[in-house]
Amino acid sequence: MANGHGKVVTPDKAMDYAGILPFLGNNSQTRRARSLSPVPPLLKGEEHRSSRHEFHVKWWLIALLAFSLPADAKIFKWVDDKGVTHLGDTIPAEYAGKNRSELNKSGRVVNTREVLTPEERSAKQAEDAKSKEAQDIVRDQKMHDSSLLNTYSNVHEIDLARARNLQQIDARVQVAGKQLVEANYNLAGLIKKTDVYSKAGKPVPEYLKDELNAAQLSVAKLSKDRAEINAEKAALEARYDADKARYRELTGK
């Protein structure tokens, strides 16, 4: 139905009839469309015919627009700040960042672009990241399961691989432990030397202070190295325990 001002109300939103004409060029169809009088308002008691009336007006405008545009032109539908729906082959710059639909020559929506608010965009990004993480977990698990089944024929082979790897780590633990014992012994000797000077009321020589500081740093580093190796060993044991459990779950052995 029409409000008498050249704007036709569609079943969903208002359509600016006059806003379509600038997109149609200056052909005979355009001149005739401009000469058309506004659709008269419905009389009281005719509201039951409004939906059919609105449908025909809407598709008449779409058909006129499609006929007047090049064959490869696109038809867009957007809503302005006043809630009025517009059709055209281009979208005004002020509405380029808002929701819009693309129609085919039959008036069917073939593509819709919804512009999210900053809050909606953040929520969508978080949801997408969560979904991707879940997919990555499933993918990695499938790859690991395949590797287990292709690498081992039974649980005993997993135990053998575990023993070999633990043997290498145990050797590193022993080396790190021996180095730490030597570093602590050297540090203890330097501390005794500084105590001699302190008890005698004499200043500790600078070279001795430097050696003491270097020895303390060495002990700290070796202690950290040994702790990291022990943590690596614990992680390796836990990994093989998990592999055995998963292998049994997959094979029933």
Taking only the tens place, the pLDDT of each residue in 157-182 is: 999 999 999 999 999 999 999 999 99
pLDDT at 91: 75
Q: What is the mean pLDDT of residues 205-225?
A: 95
The C-alpha atoms of residue 224 and residue 218 are separated, in whole angstroms, by 10
Per-residue pLDDT for 72 more than 50? yes
211 Cβ contact partners less than 8 Å away, ≥ 6 residues apart: 190
pLDDT at 249: 94
The C-alpha atoms of residue 227 and residue 251 are separated, in whole angstroms, by 36
Name the least confident of 30-34, 95-99, 142-146.
Answer: 30-34
**Residue whose tokens read 């602590």:** 184
Per-residue pLDDT for 70 more than 90? no
List helix spans (H) across the chain.
17-20, 28-35, 50-68, 118-151, 155-199, 206-251
> What distances in angstroms separate CA 184 from CA 191, 199, 226, 227, one per listed residue?
10, 22, 14, 16
* Contact between 169 and 233 (Cβ < 8 Å): yes
Q: What is the mean pLDDT of residues 202-211?
A: 94
Binning pLDDT at 50, 70 and 90, where does residue 61 land? low
State the average pLDDT for the chain.
Answer: 75
Binning pLDDT at 50, 70 and 90, where does residue 105 land? low
Binning pLDDT at 50, 70 and 90, where does residue 62 land? low
First to last CA, the chain: 75
5-24 confidence digits (pLDDT tens): 333 333 333 334 434 444 44
Per-residue pLDDT for 81 more than 90? no
pLDDT at 153: 94
Higher pLDDT, 55 or 220: 220
Write 212-219 long-range contacts (CB < 8 A, 24+): 212/187, 215/183, 215/186, 215/187, 215/190, 216/187, 218/183, 218/186, 218/187, 219/180, 219/183, 219/184, 219/187
Q: What is the mean pLDDT of residues 221-228?
A: 96
112-129 confidence digits (pLDDT tens): 766 666 787 788 889 999
Q: What is the mean pLDDT of residues 14-37?
A: 39
pLDDT at 179: 96
Element (H, E) at 79: strand 75-79
